[in-house]
């Protein structure tokens, strides 16, 4: 437990550090339940089609399981489940493989959209309520091409996934 | 290349600008050579090395302040020149001999500094370079042959004034280079150890002397370059001793062998300290016994120690795991007054030797050119090859070929398949390393333990060319050391007892490795006392491990010594001693999926045979289906599986379902409930029961069907998930999907702690 929480703390400070200088940059945008989200392109290592996912027992629901990525086993998180939108795979659903702190992990999204460059001036801090998701996952809200994109801090999204998984496992162990 | 001296270097430095990178690089290399090649006195070497290092940072562009760096290089060269001044520079043909004479000069200064002749102190101390470490470098070199006129050995021995403070990792230490340095140096020392043992068996083996000499020399050079002066100084002393052997100045006697082996140990200890400092706070404490050993090395006198130095015969010590402190004690005894030293060891020198090594000589040392590869890259390669195999089998299994019209294509695909399979074999073999180094280390263990216990033991190895997985070598080492030590310490009788029993006085411990039906078997055979069945049984009953030995085979009885209770108890030397920490041995071996068996006959000896899988990467597993999902259960955990009859099933109130099989009552564990799997068989009569677990705690797992046995490559489930209860990892199955490998023990424990009388969703619905 202690090492795990330590990791989370580290991730917090590191993402704060990256957040401080600038949020401007290129973002990969994708759709989740009709809303458009953005993900820092530097964190994305590849996009693959949805494939059979092996369920891992006793994991929280948003952990879909694991897949084989060219010989490597990586965990898959379902963002819809994570954000409480209900699971729903479509033709366009795909897996974005992200690289965070050297760990590869995949997230399931409804549809990948495009890569956009967003300037710092076009990024606003997340409002404290009203966006339908918890704002601590957000780097900010970006405006590009006349649309609003919710810029995700993927480290935080997945770090909380880890905590939840851990708590779940512990609840079972007790 | 005309050798450059310090004056040239200083002149050159003044002519160069910071921008002349190429010339600066040449100068740096020249300085490095100077520091390595013994062309400057030892006391000047650290300065030269420092100059080279700082200059290197200028060349690489990593220097923060170029002009300051230049000034520092200048100072370092100046210091080096000062350090070498006033010496009798009679550059002999042999650079080492030269360095030796310089060391002697240093010794003079030290002896003076320690207060032997106060009147001279001021005059001479000025000549000692300012770095305190260097003072220690020159510490008391008193080979009687050369310096008796200058410093009487006895006066020098208890020298006190030297740098006994612990070091710190130099601030400018190159942290990127250090790990490589540690690996390389450790390798050098391991090689030198093997060569030293070889040398002991055959003192005229010049190649062995050279191997050791080169190893020490390399360690000395690189450590000086990296600013690790204490290691450099120690390696220098060790090297000097060997150089005297090489030059036939002294004979390689027992005493000399002891010292050299101890030096190798000390170097290992010093390297370990560096490693700790690198990972920790940079503090480098001095290993115990360092100064004593340094004195012993420097003051080694063949005439005095020819029959063997009094070392390591601390009889009555029950410590079978000698640590560094032993070295301290023994070497401490050495550095004492001369009168106490002349005690010779027993005349019948017990030679612990590897017959194999002795016969093959040193031909193997440079036979194979190797390249060091990072293991993660290797793992990645193996992953990719695994994927290639799956992709290939998918192509080969494509329906296109079913029609029978694509003969040409089928032929090509089959050909590609052959290549892929060969590639797979090759990639697996890249992780394999021979057992030779492991066995060589044990030769040392046998030698030391035998000496300590006053036994005469011949150590024979064969099959050391057998290869096993790299990751297993490390885990195998400790258990083997433990067992070999036990075999020598407890198994083999003292010579007198052996002759009384009509055995040859020389005991034999044999280590034998071979392949057998897809496994590697390592056998440790001794011809000692053997195990006493009755005594073990008595002890086991006392401990409550068994109630009676009725119906137990010898092998089962002997296996009792692995029980934890057997080892943590008071000393059990009364039953021929096996068992100290044997539970740890078994645990370590089980961690690498090894099995150990004992056969023994009283008075004849004991054989431990360890059966190991060829590689840890591959698990033999049974693929089972539970509902919509598949799991892999390691074969080692499965006892049997069967389709239950209605009469076998029963429910025990409060205890859940049980199955009755041949008089044994076992709980039924429904995997689908524990793991919440949909569409699984509900009635045990429709599925299969698989008996898993060990000893009295066996459990029956309910599964839908067996899909077949296969070898899988175990992988972690990705770091993002952390530890998953009940699952030990994942494996890529033939269809490219991931199958989960069940951790049977954990699953059973999980089931016992969880209420899984009904599936989770049913419980929630209720």
Of B383, B720, B753, the CB nearest to A70: B383
Tell me which of B9-13, B344-348, B594-598, B617-621 is least confident.
B344-348
Are B648 and B629 a contacting pair, CB within 8 Å? no
How far is Cα B61 from Cα B399, in angstroms, rounded to an integer? 61
Q: A73 with B715: CB under 8 angstroms?
A: yes
Burial class (CB in 10 A: 0-12, 13-18, 19+), B543: middle
Q: In angstroms, rounded to a whole number, what is the distance separating the alpha carbons of residues B731 and B618?
A: 10
Q: Which residues of A touch B (CB under 8 A)?
A: 4, 52, 54-59, 63, 65-68, 70-75, 103-105, 158, 161-162, 165-166, 169, 172-173
Q: Do A67 and B720 touch (CB under 8 A)?
A: no
Q: Is the pLDDT of residue B720 over 80?
A: no
Contact A105 B674 (CB under 8 A): no
Q: Where would I find the beta strands (DSSP E) of B530-613?
A: 595-601, 605-613
Q: Which residues of A fall within a CB distance of 8 Å from B726?
A: 57-58
**Min CA distance, A156 vs chain B (Å)?**
13
Question: What are residue B624's DSSP bridge partners?
Answer: B631, B706
List Cα–Cα distances, B754 to A150, B55, B232, B666, in angstroms: 41, 66, 60, 17
Pairwise CB contact (< 8 Å): B722 & A162: yes
Looking at residues B574-592, what average pLDDT do you find?
Answer: 65
The SS3 assignment for B343 reads coil
DSSP state of B63: -
Mean pLDDT of chain B: 72
For residue B3, the model assigns a pLDDT of: 56
pLDDT of residue B333: 38
Highest mean pLDDT: which of B18-22, B68-72, B725-729? B725-729
Which among B306, B299, B333, B338 is positioned nearest to B103, based on CA atoms? B299
Contact list, B629 vs chain A (CB under 8 Å): 54-55
B716 with A169: Cβ contact below 8 A: no
Nearest-Cα distance to chain B for A120, in Å, is: 31
Q: Is the pLDDT of residue B227 over 60?
A: yes
Do residues B85 and B7 make contact, with C-beta atoms less than 8 angstroms apart?
Answer: no
Q: Please state, in angstroms and rounded to a whole number, the distance separating the CA atoms of residues A40 and B488.
A: 63
Nearest to B738 among A54, A70, A166 (CB): A54
Among A101, A57, A105, smallest CA distance to A78 is for A105
Of residues A39 and B184, the one with the higher pLDDT is A39
Q: What are the structure tokens assigned to A148, written together?
A: 């609003």
Distance between CA B763 and CA B742 in Å, rounded? 24
Q: Give the closest-approach CA distance of A66 to chain B in angstroms.
A: 7
* pLDDT tens for each residue of B677-688: 888 888 888 899
Chain A hits for B377, CB-CB cut-off 8 Å, are: none
How far apart CA B140 and CA B106 sit, in angstroms, is 8
**Measured between alpha carbons, how far is B223 from B38 in angstroms, rounded to an integer?**
14
Closest-CA distance, B380 to chain A, in angstroms, reads: 8
Number of H helices, E strands in chain B: 29, 20
The confidence score (pLDDT) of residue B434 equals 87
From A71, A161, A162, residue closest to B387, measured CB to CB:
A71
DSSP letter for each residue of chain A: -HHHHHHHHHHHHHHHHHHTT---EEEEEEEETTEEEEEEGGGEEEEEE----B--TT--TTEEEEEEETTEEEEEEEHHHHTTS-----TT-EEEEEEETTEEEEEEESEEEEEEEE-GGGEEPPPSS-SSS-GGGEEEEEEETTEEEEEE-HHHHHHHHHHHHHHHHHHHH-
Which residues of chain B approach chain A closer than 8 Å at the C-beta?
380, 382-384, 386-387, 629, 674-677, 715-727, 729-730, 732, 736-740, 750, 753-754
The answer to whether A97 touches A105, Cβ cutoff 8 Å, is yes
**Interval B113-127 mean pLDDT:** 38
Comparing CA positions, the residue from A92, A50, A154, A75 lying closest to residue B717 is A75
User: What three-state secondary structure class fits B258?
Assistant: helix
CA-CA distances (angstroms) from residue B237 to A64, B99, B263, B284?
A: 63, 10, 9, 20
How many residues does the structure list for chain A?
174
- pLDDT per residue rounded down to tens, chain A (174 residues): 444 444 444 444 444 444 445 788 899 999 998 889 999 999 999 999 998 999 998 888 888 999 998 888 899 999 888 888 887 888 889 999 998 777 888 999 999 999 999 988 888 887 766 555 566 778 888 888 788 888 988 888 876 555 555 555 545 544
Q: Could you give the CA distance from residue A119 to residue B760 in angstroms, rounded to a whole number?
A: 48
pLDDT of residue B631: 93
- In DSSP terms, which residues pair with B699 in a beta bridge? B692
Asked if the model's pLDDT at residue B722 lies above 80, the reply is no
User: Encoding tokens for residue B349?
Assistant: 């020198």
Residue among A71, A105, A158 whose CB faces B383 most closely: A71
All residues of chain B having their beta carbon less than 8 Å from the beta carbon of residue A161 are 720
Could you say which of A67, A71, A172 has the minimum Cβ distance to residue B754?
Answer: A172
Contact A54 B730 (CB under 8 A): yes
What is the C-alpha separation between B52 and B50, in angstroms, rounded?
5
Rounded Cα gap, residues B620 and B638, in angstroms: 11
What is the model's pLDDT at position A66?
92
CA distance B455 to B568: 26
Mean pLDDT throughout B440-445?
Answer: 85
Q: Given pLDDT bands bounded at 50, 70 and 90, which one contains residue B554?
A: confident
Residues B359-386 have pLDDT tens digits of: 344 444 445 577 878 878 888 888 888 8
Nearest to B726 among A57, A104, A161 (CB): A57
Higher pLDDT, B281 or B104: B281
For the ranges B317-331, B595-609, B689-703, which has the lowest average pLDDT?
A: B317-331
Show the DSSP H helices in B39-149 as ranges: 45-60, 66-84, 95-113, 118-125, 132-137, 144-147
Which chain A residues touch B722 with a CB distance below 8 Å?
A: 4, 162, 165-166, 169
Q: What is the pLDDT of residue B626?
A: 92
pLDDT reported for residue B19: 72
Instruction: For tokens 């590849």, name the residue.
Output: A46
Per-residue pLDDT of B480-493, as tens digits, reads 888 888 888 888 88
- Out of A103-107, B208-212, B289-293, the most confident range is A103-107
Residue B698 pLDDT grade (very low, low, confident, very high; cuts 50, 70, 90): confident
Residue B43 has pLDDT above 50, yes or no: yes
Q: What pLDDT is recorded for position A31?
A: 92
What integer pLDDT is reported at residue B153 of this predicted model?
Answer: 40
Least confident of B126-130, B537-541, B650-654: B126-130
* CA-to-CA dists, residue B413 to A114, B354, B418, B422, B568, angstroms: 39, 49, 9, 14, 60
Contact status, residue B218 vs residue B188, Cβ threshold 8 Å: yes
What's CA B226's distance to the chain center, in Å? 24
In chain B, what residues touch A67 (CB-CB under 8 Å)?
737-738
Q: How far apart are CA B458 and CA B488, in angstroms?
A: 10
Higher pLDDT, B403 or B127: B403
Which of B144-158, B383-397, B670-684 has the highest average model confidence (pLDDT)? B670-684
pTM for the whole thing? 0.52
Place of tokens 């191997």: B211
Which of A72, A67, A73, A69 has its CA nearest to residue A52?
A67
The span from the CA of B599 to the CA of B582, in Å, is 15
* Between residues B349 and A39, the one the model is more confident about: A39
Residue of B629, B672, B652 lying closest to B759 (CA atoms): B672
Q: Listing from the earlier edge strand, what are the strands of the sheet with A103-109?
A: A44-49, A94-100, A103-109, A72-78, A63-69
Instruction: Evaluate whether B600 touches B487 at the Cβ level (below 8 Å).
Output: no
Strands B432-434 and B467-469: antiparallel
Q: How far is B712 from B726, CA to CA, in rounded Å?
A: 18
pLDDT of residue A38: 92
B71's CB contacts (< 8 A; 6+ apart) are none
Two tokens at B73? 């290089």
Please tell me the distance in Å from A55's CA to the nearest CA on chain B: 8
- H/E stretch holding B620 reads strand B618-626
Condensed to tens digits (0 to 9), the pLDDT of residues B399-442 reads 777 777 778 888 888 899 899 989 988 888 888 888 888 888 88
């Amino acid at each position: 437990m202690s090492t795990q929480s330590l990791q989370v703390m580290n991730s917090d400070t590191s993402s704060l550090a990256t957040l401080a200088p600038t949020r401007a940059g290129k973002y990969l945008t994708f759709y989740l339940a009709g809303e458009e989200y953005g993900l820092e392109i530097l964190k994305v290592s590849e996009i693959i089609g949805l494939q059979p996912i092996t369920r891992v027992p006793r994991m929280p629901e948003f952990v879909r399981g694991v897949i084989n990525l060219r010989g490597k086993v990586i965990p898959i998180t379902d963002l819809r489940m994570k954000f409480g939108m209900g699971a729903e795979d479509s033709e366009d659903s795909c897996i974005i493989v992200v690289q965070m702190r050297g760990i590869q992990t995949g997230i399931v999204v409804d549809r990948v959209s495009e890569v956009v460059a967003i300037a710092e001036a076009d990024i606003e801090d997340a409002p404290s309520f009203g966006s339908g998701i918890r704002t601590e996952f957000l780097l900010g809200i970006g405006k590009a091409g006349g649309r609003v994109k919710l810029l995700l801090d993927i480290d935080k999204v997945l770090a909380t996934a880890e905590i939840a998984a851990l708590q779940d496992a512990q609840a079972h162990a007790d | 290349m005309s050798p450059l001296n310090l004056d040239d270097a200083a002149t050159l430095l003044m002519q160069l600008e910071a921008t002349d990178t190429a010339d600066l690089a040449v100068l740096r290399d020249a300085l490095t050579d100077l520091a390595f090649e013994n062309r400057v006195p030892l006391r000047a070497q650290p300065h030269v090395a420092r100059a080279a290092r700082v200059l290197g940072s200028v060349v690489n562009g990593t220097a923060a302040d170029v002009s300051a760096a230049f000034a520092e290089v200048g100072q370092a060269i100046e210091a080096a020149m000062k350090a070498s001044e006033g010496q009798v520079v009679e550059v002999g043909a042999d650079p080492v001999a030269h360095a030796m004479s310089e060391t002697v000069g240093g010794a003079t200064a030290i002896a003076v500094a320690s207060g032997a002749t106060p009147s001279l102190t001021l005059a001479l101390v000025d000549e000692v370079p300012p770095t305190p470490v260097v003072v220690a470098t020159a510490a008391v070199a008193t080979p009687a042959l050369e310096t008796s006129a200058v410093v009487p050995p006895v006066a020098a021995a208890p020298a006190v004034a030297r740098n006994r403070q612990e070091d710190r990792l130099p601030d400018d230490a190159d942290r990127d280079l250090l790990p490589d340095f540690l690996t390389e140096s450790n390798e050098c020392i391991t090689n030198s150890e093997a060569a030293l043992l070889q040398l002991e068996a055959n003192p005229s083996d010049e190649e062995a002397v050279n191997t050791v000499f080169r190893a020490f020399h390399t360690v000395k050079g690189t450590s000086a370059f990296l600013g690790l002066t204490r290691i450099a100084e120690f390696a220098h002393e060790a090297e000097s001793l060997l150089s005297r052997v090489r030059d036939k100045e002294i004979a390689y006697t027992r005493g000399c062998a002891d010292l050299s082996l101890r030096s190798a140990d000390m170097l290992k200890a010093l390297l370990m300290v560096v490693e700790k400092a690198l990972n920790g706070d940079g503090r480098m404490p001095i290993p115990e016994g360092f100064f004593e050993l340094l004195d012993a090395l420097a003051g080694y006198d063949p005439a005095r120690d020819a029959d063997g130095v009094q070392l390591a015969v601390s009889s009555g010590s029950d410590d079978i795991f000698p640590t560094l402190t032993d070295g301290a004690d023994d070497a401490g005894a050495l550095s004492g007054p001369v009168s106490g030293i002349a005690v010779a060891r027993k005349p019948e020198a017990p030679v612990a030797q590897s017959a194999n090594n002795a016969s093959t000589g040193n031909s193997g040392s440079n036979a194979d050119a190797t390249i060091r590869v990072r293991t993660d890259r290797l793992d990645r390669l193996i992953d990719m090859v695994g994927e290639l195999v799956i992709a290939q089998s998918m192509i080969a299994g494509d329906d296109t070929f079913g029609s029978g019209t694509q003969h040409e294509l089928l032929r090509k695909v089959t050909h590609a398949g052959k290549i892929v399979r060969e590639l797979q074999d090759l990639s697996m073999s890249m992780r394999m390393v021979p057992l030779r180094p492991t066995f060589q280390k044990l030769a040392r263990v046998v030698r030391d333990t035998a000496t300590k216990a006053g036994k005469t033991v011949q150590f024979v190895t064969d099959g050391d060319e057998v290869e096993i997985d790299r990751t297993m070598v490390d885990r195998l080492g400790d258990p083997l050391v433990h067992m070999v030590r036990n075999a020598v310490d407890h198994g083999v009788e003292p010579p007198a007892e052996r002759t009384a029993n009509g055995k040859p006085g020389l005991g034999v411990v044999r280590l034998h490795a071979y392949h057998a039906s897809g496994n590697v078997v390592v056998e440790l055979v001794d011809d000692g006392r053997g195990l006493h069945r009755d005594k073990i049984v008595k002890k086991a009953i006392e401990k409550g491990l068994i109630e009676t030995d009725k119906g137990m085979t010898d092998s089962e009885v002997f296996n009792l010594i692995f029980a934890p209770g057997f080892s943590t108890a008071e000393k059990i030397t009364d039953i021929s001693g096996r068992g100290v920490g044997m539970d740890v041995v078994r645990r370590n071996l089980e961690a690498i999926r090894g099995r150990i068996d004992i056969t023994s006959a009283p008075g004849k000896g004991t054989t431990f045979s360890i059966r190991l899988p060829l590689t840890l990467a591959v698990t033999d597993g049974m693929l089972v289906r539970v509902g919509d999902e598949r799991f892999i259960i390691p074969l080692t955990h499965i006892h049997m599986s069967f389709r239950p009859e209605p009469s076998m099933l029963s429910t025990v109130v409060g205890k859940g379902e049980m199955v009755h099989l041949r008089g044994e009552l076992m709980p039924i564990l429904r995997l689908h409930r524990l793991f919440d799997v949909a569409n699984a068989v509900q009635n045990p009569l429709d599925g299969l029961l698989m008996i898993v677990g060990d000893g009295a705690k066996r459990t029956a797992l309910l599964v839908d069907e067996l899909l077949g046995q296969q070898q899988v490559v175990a992988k972690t489930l990705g770091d993002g998930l952390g530890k998953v209860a009940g699952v030990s990892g994942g494996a890529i199955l033939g269809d490219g999907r991931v199958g989960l490998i069940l951790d049977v023990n954990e699953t059973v424990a999980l089931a016992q702690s969880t209420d899984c009388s009904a599936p989770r969703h049913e419980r929630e619905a209720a």
